Amino acid sequence: MPYSPPPELASLSLSEIAELVQAQKLPPVEKWEPEETGDSEMQINADGSWLHQGSPINRPAMVRAFSTLLRREPDGSFVLVTPYQKLGIIVDDAPFVAVQMENEGQGKDRKLAFRLNTDHLVIADAEHPLRFPAGSDAPQPYLTVRGGLEAVLARPVYYELAEYALEDNLNPFGLWSNGAFFPIELPA
């Protein structure tokens, strides 16, 4: 059956998005420990583009398929893993980019859903926290996707998120999503 991306987030309620998130079936890469190892000769650039031997992988279906086999190792490295093979992959920043966001509610009742550049959906919550690393002039927020894998928020998504935080004007400054609070440390 051919893959079809989920509909636009804006046309869905958060409960419909939650159902789609639950329906996403991913391989159990965390359980696979193959003996054969090597180098995939692949790289994920900071902008979320995938390369093989320095050339872009232009087929979104290929990127989507490879992204489901991605795993972060305890030493912080990244691998593509199957039951038979584990191949190293270079990741410049985060392996995913959150390219779209949908919001429902405000304050403690807010729920935030994100579409990744691979068309996977993630709802920010205690298991999928947002983090806002301090210490840089240009804050770069991240969303936990799964198993130590993160998505960097695309700049327009980050600006939209910042608008919600400013609207809520909470003390400490931050955002709620799906019952979890995520503090935002402002640059000094």
Question: Does 100 lie in the same domain as 86?
Answer: no
34: domain CATH number is 3.10.540.10
Question: Does 117 lie in the same domain as 84?
Answer: no
What local confidence, expressed as pLDDT, does residue 41 receive? Answer: 96
What local confidence, expressed as pLDDT, does residue 1 receive? Answer: 42
In the listed set 37, 72, 91, which residue is the last one of a domain according to the structure?
91
What local confidence, expressed as pLDDT, does residue 136 receive? Answer: 62
Domain of residue 103, residue span: 96-181
Distance CA 169, CA 173 (A): 7
Q: Does 111 fall in a domain?
A: yes
What local confidence, expressed as pLDDT, does residue 185 receive? Answer: 77
30, containing H or E segment: none
Question: Does 122 lie in the same domain as 70?
Answer: no
Question: Does 176 lie in the same domain as 108?
Answer: yes
In the listed set 91, 122, 140, which residue is the last one of a domain according to the structure?
91
- Averaged pLDDT for residues 41-57: 96
123: domain CATH number is 2.30.270.10
Q: Is the pLDDT reported for residue 119 higher than 70?
A: yes
Is the backbone peptide bond immediately before 28 cis, with ω within 30 degrees of 0?
Answer: no
CA dist list (Å): 126 to 3, 129, 141: 29, 5, 16
User: What SS3 class is residue 185?
Assistant: coil
- pLDDT tens-digit readout, 59-114: 988 898 899 899 999 999 999 999 999 999 999 999 999 999 999 998 999 999 99
User: How does residue 184 score in pLDDT terms, banded at 50, 70 and 90?
Assistant: confident
What local confidence, expressed as pLDDT, does residue 25 receive? Answer: 72
What local confidence, expressed as pLDDT, does residue 140 receive? Answer: 84
Q: Is the pLDDT reported for residue 17 higher than 70?
A: no
Q: Which long-range contacts does 57-66 make (Cβ < 8 Å, 24+ apart)?
A: 60/118, 60/119, 61/3, 63/117, 63/118, 64/3, 64/118, 64/119, 64/120, 66/42
Question: Does 41 lie in the same domain as 113?
Answer: no
- Averaged pLDDT for residues 150-179: 93
